Structure 1
């Protein structure tokens, strides 16, 4: 796909994607990437991050960072996600990721849905992380960054096993939410989190106890680019 755009005169094609949109805990991470011309952006093993093992993603991440013409990562923390809503913050994060690239792209490909407000011509590509190398690279940048952050959150909130499920809704995560209620890294706009919060508060109130859950340290918003 990038090759076709380059033949039409768009030499710097950026891909943008996010990780964590469907999770009920942890930050949203958006990334953008411009790869050099060549098969799969000259990154061996590049593929949609969801199709790679964790070890393969780490290897591809290192290759992308080394070989990319430009790349950027933007992190949106939970309070902003709860305040403004997922779709609004997701679109803005993708715009910021593209806007913070050190090389301005001529064209932008996004995964799945359009991102209005970009100054460049843009195209939303269904399953873009599987058909466009630059979108696949962005997906790897976002996924590896977010997974590392979720492992760090596990150290602060070990009750929830964030290092295992990365904040997505699984049976294990649901069991932890039901037992402990949400922590400050849970997204209260999600129905399951709100339900667990209310149930936990009711149990605490009925037992006449104080809720002495884990102490929260607000994360710092991160924007990384090259």
Structure 2
């Protein structure tokens, strides 16, 4: 069980919508979930999303557990069923300039602020985010146990994948459409052969090594 508020908790077997139901019973609504995609990539943007989800979405799950086709279907359903959705795209240059974690927290905060509907409570994935202006809870593996975080994970992931596919057209040597900027053998080989492009994160050790090796 995970602590929700003094005297309140959510059972792990409460289902994907358990947190949202418990918060609404307490009058803490609407509930927003925030999550990001691209934190572990060495190329491309970091994308953060905030979602206020007050209707169930069939097939919704953590974006990492869904196939690409299933994520696209969920993305469309979220777009039609969510009360509100906001997205923030952080370019790699900003991730390098401020540091990844600071850029990540700021992006989650900015995504929440862009919502047209002001939430009464915010659920974040894994670590707390301060400066939200409303009560919030960091949920361990939140994208697997809280619907609004799962929805935010899908929106962030699909948005970022589409951006990386677009970048593939500009920088085909790196095969961004396949690995989406994460470190794979193919990506590492391309870095060694061609060096980094402007869409790489130069603060990352492997990117910096590829640049210095040129």
Normalising by structure 2, what TM-score? 0.91
- 1:87 Cα deviation after fit: 0.6
Corresponding residue for 1:120?
A: 134
Residue 211 of structure 2 corresponds to residue 197 of structure 1: yes
Secondary structure of the 1:152 match is helix
Secondary structure of the 1:97 match is helix
Which residues in structure 2 correspond to 1:145-224 (within 5 Å)?
A: 145-200=159-214
CA–CA separation in structure 1 for the residues paired with 2:40 and 2:76? 25
Corresponding residue for 1:46?
A: 60
Corresponding residue for 1:7?
A: 25
- Structure 1 stretches lacking a partner, 5+ long: 201-226
- 1:11 Cα deviation after fit: 2.1
1:30 to 36, 44, 48: 48
Q: How big is each residue's C-alpha offset from its partner over 1:110-158, in whole Å with a ceiling of 9 and x where there is no partner? A: 0011111110101110100000000000000000000000000000000
2:84 to 67, 70, 95: 70
CA–CA separation in structure 1 for the residues paired with 2:56 and 2:38? 27
CA–CA separation in structure 1 for the residues paired with 2:212 and 2:115? 42
CA–CA separation in structure 2 for the residues paired with 1:25 and 1:79? 10
CA–CA separation in structure 2 for the residues paired with 1:74 and 1:189? 21
Corresponding pairs, count = 196
Corresponding residue for 2:10?
A: none
Larger radius of gyration: 1
CA–CA separation in structure 1 for the residues paired with 2:189 and 2:126? 31
CA–CA separation in structure 1 for the residues paired with 2:103 and 2:175? 26
CA–CA separation in structure 2 for the residues paired with 1:78 and 1:187? 5
Q: Which runs of 4+ in 1 moved over 3 A?
A: none
Residue 118 of structure 2 corresponds to residue 104 of structure 1: yes
- Structure 2 stretches lacking a partner, 5+ long: 1-18
- 1:184 Cα deviation after fit: 0.5
- 1:180 Cα deviation after fit: 0.7
Secondary structure of the 2:200 match is coil
Corresponding residue for 1:57?
A: 71
- 1:79 Cα deviation after fit: 1.2
CA–CA separation in structure 2 for the residues paired with 1:195 and 1:88? 23
Normalising by structure 1, what TM-score? 0.86
